Amino acid sequence: MTEQSVPEARTPADAAADRAPQGVSRRALLGTAGATGLVLGAAGAAVGYAAAPASATPLTSLGSGRAMFHGKHQPGITDGLQAHGHLVAFDLAAGAGRKEAAALLRRWSQTAERLMAGEPAPHGDTDVARDAGPSSLTITFGFGHSFFARTGLEKQRPLALDPLPDFSSDRLDKARSNGDLWVQIGADDALVAFHALRAIQKEAGGAARVRWQMNGFNRSPGATAHPMTARNLMGQIDGTRNPKPADADFDRRIFVPENGEPAWMANGSYAVVRRIRMLLDDWERLPVSEQENVIGRRKSDGAPLSGGTETTEMDLEKTDANGDLVVPVNAHARITRPDQNGGAAMLRRPFSYHDGIDADGTPDAGLLFICWQADPLRGFVPVQRKLDRGDALSRFVRHEASGLFAVPGGAAEGEYVGQRLLEG
C-alpha cells in the first residue's frame, strides 16, 4: 500500500454541515452522510488512516456505517463484531409490572431507533456523541426468566428459557448473573457506545434499576491489512467455525421460526451470556506448541494442526509418525465441532474484557461470551456439557457470571421491541 496525501482541508461532511439548515444537528447530519461517507470509506478509508493526522481523519465508513433498528430480526445478532460493547441487565423496580415494562420498552425502542440513526437521544441528550456518525451502533433487548413472573406473563415464558444447568467450571457470582431485562450495545466508536449506554440507563427512570453492567472490546475495523477473524486475549484466532448467514440451515439453527412457540418469539433468538475469566498468567507460561495442542489450531494463522489454512476442514483421524493424533483428543476445537455434538450450533459474537489488575498482579480479563441459537438446550447446553467432561482449555478459564435471555424478533415500523408479548 502506497501512501497518498489526504488534505487536512474540509471534508464533504464538513461542507454538508455548513449547508445544513438551522436546527439540524451536526450529529444528525453526519449520521445521514452515507452517500459521501460510504464512497470515501470504500475508496479512501485505508489511505485516510495511513496518511492523515488523527485530527484530520474524515468521516469514513467507520463513522457513517449504520445498522437498521426495524427489521425481521433485532440488530446486534448477525452484524459483524464491533470494536466497543456494553452489556447491562436491569431488574424491574418494586411495584413495576407489565404496564411499566411496556412503557419502558417503548421508550427504549424510540431511543435505540434515534441513536442508531445518528440522532440525539429523545430526552436530555448528553452530547457525548454529538460530532460522530452512527458508527454501526446496535442496541438489542432481551427478557430474562424472572421477567415473566414480575409481569404476570408466566404462561408466555418459553420452555427454552428454563435455567441453564450447573457446569463444573462455574464459579458464578449471582449478583452479576441473569436479570429481568438485558441490553446489548455495540458500536465502532467508544463514545457512541457509551452515549447509548447512558441514554438507555437514563430512560429506565424509576421503572427499572441496573443489576449488573460489563464493558467489552474487539479489534477496531481497519487495524489489520485485510479482514481477519478476531483474536481473543489468549492470542488465538476465535470464531473460525461460526455459522454463516449464507449457510442453508443458518436461520433454522439461530432463529425461532415464524410458526414457532411461543408466537411472540417468532424470528427471535436466545442469547447465552457468560463472563469467562481467562487465567492468562497460567496460559502465557505454556510454550506456543502446548497452547496449540490445547486449542487444536496453529496460533499464527488459526489453521488446524492437521494442516491447511484457517478454513481447511480439520482431519480428526490424522496421526503423526508415532501414531498419535495430530489434533489431541481433548483439544478445544475438536470437542466444540458441531459434528462432534449432534449438529449443535450457535452463533458466537463475543467481546473481550479487561477490568483491571488484582492486588497480586493477576489481570481480571477474559471473554464476554455471547452466543445465539434457536434453542439453547440444543445449542449451548450440549456443547458446554461436553467441554465439562474433558476440554483441555478448562484449566485456563473460569466462568464467573451467566445469563440466558429471550430476544424477540425485530420491531416493525411503528412497533417497539417486545410489543407482541406485552400487548398480545
| Beta pairing partners, 335 | none
d(Cα 372, Cα 346) in Å, to the nearest integer? Answer: 5
Residue 194, SS3 per DSSP: helix
- CB of 366 within 8 A of CB of 352? yes
d(Cα 139, Cα 204) in Å, to the nearest integer? Answer: 14
Residue 422, SS3 per DSSP: helix
Phi, psi (deg, nearest 5) at residue 196? -65, -40
Residues taking part in catalysis: 238
In Å, the largest CA–CA distance within the chain is 77
d(Cα 170, Cα 371) in Å, to the nearest integer? Answer: 17
Residue where the block lists cell 433468538: 269
d(Cα 211, Cα 176) in Å, to the nearest integer? Answer: 7
Among 183, 199, 205, 186, CA closest to 90:
183
Residue where the block lists cell 440444543: 378
| Beta pairing partners, 212 | 89
